[in-house]
C-alpha cells in the first residue's frame, strides 16, 4: 500500500492528513499554528505519522497548502487552499458543487466541477471583515472560547443587529450591547448572522449551486451553519472531517502524483 500526505498550514491552525491509495483518511492531526510555521507543519505531520504508525519515508508525496504552504519544508510541492478545499470537499461529499470556507483571514466561495476542479472562486477583498478572525474577536469580547459560540447562540431569542462586520470595530459594538444588558446568546446570534450575510454575498458571486458544502474549522460552529442555511434557503453539508478538508485535498493531490508516477506532472503544474 502506498501513502500520501497533505499539510495545511493555516493562519490559525495547522492540519495534516495521510491517505492511502483508495483516498481513505488513515490519520489526521491538528495543532495551533503559532509563530513558527515550519515547526507547526512538522508537528502536525509527525503527529499524523505517529497515528498511522508510518515512517516519513513511507509517504510517497507530501503537498503543502494554506497561507504557510511554502513553509512545509519537507513537502514536495504546494497547492493553494482554494484548490485543496475544492478537491477535499468533493472527496468528502462528491455531490458538492459549491464550497464555503471561512478561514482565519479569508472567506471563500468556490464553484466546483463534478471532478472536484475549481471552476470559479470569490474571496473577500483586501479587508478581512467577516472572516474567522471576526469570530475569534467576538468570542473574546463576550468572554467565551470560539468553540463555545455555536451551541450558545442556538439559545438566542432576539438576535441583535450588528452595525459592522469589521473585525476591529465589532468589539466596541458588542461592548455597547453588553452595556445595554443584551444576552450573550442574542449577541452571538447577531455575530453569526452578520458573518453569514457577508459569506452569502460571496456565494452569490460564484452562483449558489446545489449541493453546498461548508469546509474548514468554522463549519463546526452550528450557529453559523444554521445562519447560512437560513440565508441561502438551502441545506449546507458539513462532513465530520470538514475541519481537515484542505489537508485532505492536498493529500489527494499528492496521491494522484504518487499513482501517476514520476514525471507525470510538471513541477509548475501545481506551483
Partner 1 sequence: MSAPTGIRYQGELHLLQKEIMAKYFAEATAIAQGNGRKAAHLLIAGNPVELLRAFDVLPIYPEVNVLQLAVRKGSLPFIQKAEELGYATDNCAYVKADIGLFHAGYKTPFATIPKPDILVCNYVGCNVYLNWFEHLAELTGAPAMNIDIPFIRTADGEPTADDVIYVVKQLEELIVLLENVTGRSLDWSAFTKIVERSARTGELWAEIKAMTQSRPAPYDAYFDSVTMMAPLYTLRGTEEGLRFFEVAHREMAERVKAGTGPLPEERFRIVIEGPPPWPRLRVFRDMFTRWGAVAVASTYSTVGGLWEFGFRHDPAHPLESIARHMLSYNVCNRTFLQRYEQMERYVDEWHADAVVIHSVKSCRLFSAGQGDMREHFVRDRDVPTLLIESDLEDPRYFSEAQLRNRIDAFFEALEQRRITAGRGAPVPA
Q: Which residues are at the interface with partner 1 (CB under 8 A)?
A: 67, 70, 78-83, 105-106, 115, 117-123, 125-126, 205, 207, 266-271
Are 64 and 7 within 8 A, CB to CB?
A: yes
Q: Cα–Cα distance between 157 and 46 in angstroms, integer?
A: 45
Q: Cα–Cα distance between 20 and 59 in angstroms, integer?
A: 9
Residue closer to partner 1 by CB (options 46, 105) is 105
Three-class SS string for 215-238?
ECHHHHCHHHHHHHHHHHCCCEEC
Give least dist CB 267 to partner 1, A: 6
Q: How many CB atoms lie within 10 A of CB 262?
A: 7
Strand 77-78 to 59-65 pairing: parallel
Cα 104 to its chain centre, rounded Å, is: 8
Residue closer to partner 1 by CB (options 24, 126) is 126
Residue closer to partner 1 by CB (options 123, 222) is 123
Please name which of 65, 138, 146, 151 lies closest in space to residue 108, comparing C-alpha atoms: 65
Give least dist CB 148 to partner 1, A: 30
Residue closer to partner 1 by CB (options 3, 67) is 67
Considering only CA atoms, give the Rg of the chain: 19
Residue closer to partner 1 by CB (options 26, 82) is 82
Residue closer to partner 1 by CB (options 72, 141) is 72
Q: Which residue has the cell 468556490?
A: 110
Amino acid at each position: 500500500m502506498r501513502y500520501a500526505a497533505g499539510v495545511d498550514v493555516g493562519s490559525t491552525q495547522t492540519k495534516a492528513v495521510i491517505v492511502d491509495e483508495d483516498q481513505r483518511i488513515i490519520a489526521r492531526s491538528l495543532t495551533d499554528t503559532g509563530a513558527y510555521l515550519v515547526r507547526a507543519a512538522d508537528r502536525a505531520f509527525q503527529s499524523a505519522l505517529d497515528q498511522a504508525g508510518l515512517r516519513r519515508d513511507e509517504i510517497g508525496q507530501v503537498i503543502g497548502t494554506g497561507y504557510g504552504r511554502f513553509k512545509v519544508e519537507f513537502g514536495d510541492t504546494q497547492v493553494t487552499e482554494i484548490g485543496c478545499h475544492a478537491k477535499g470537499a468533493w472527496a468528502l461529499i462528491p455531490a458538492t458543487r459549491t464550497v464555503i470556507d471561512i478561514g482565519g483571514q479569508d472567506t471563500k466561495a468556490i464553484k466546483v466541477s463534478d471532478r472536484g476542479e475549481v471552476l470559479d472562486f470569490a474571496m473577500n477583498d483586501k479587508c478581512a471583515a467577516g472572516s474567522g478572525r471576526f469570530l475569534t474577536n467576538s468570542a473574546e469580547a463576550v468572554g467565551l472560547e470560539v468553540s463555545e459560540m455555536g451551541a450558545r447562540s442556538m439559545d438566542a431569542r432576539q438576535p441583535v443587529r450588528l452595525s459592522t462586520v469589521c473585525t476591529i470595530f465589532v468589539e466596541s459594538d458588542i461592548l455597547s450591547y453588553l452595556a445595554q444588558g443584551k444576552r450573550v446568546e442574542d449577541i452571538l446570534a447577531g455575530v453569526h448572522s452578520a458573518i453569514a450575510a457577508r459569506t452569502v454575498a460571496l456565494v452569490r458571486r460564484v452562483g449558489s449551486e446545489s449541493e453546498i458544502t461548508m469546509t474548514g474549522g468554522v463549519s463546526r460552529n452550528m450557529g453559523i451553519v444554521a445562519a447560512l442555511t437560513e440565508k441561502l434557503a438551502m441545506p449546507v453539508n458539513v462532513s465530520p472531517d470538514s475541519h481537515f478538508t484542505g489537508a485532505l485535498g492536498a493529500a489527494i493531490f499528492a496521491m494522484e502524483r504518487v499513482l501517476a508516477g514520476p514525471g507525470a506532472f510538471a513541477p509548475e503544474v501545481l506551483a
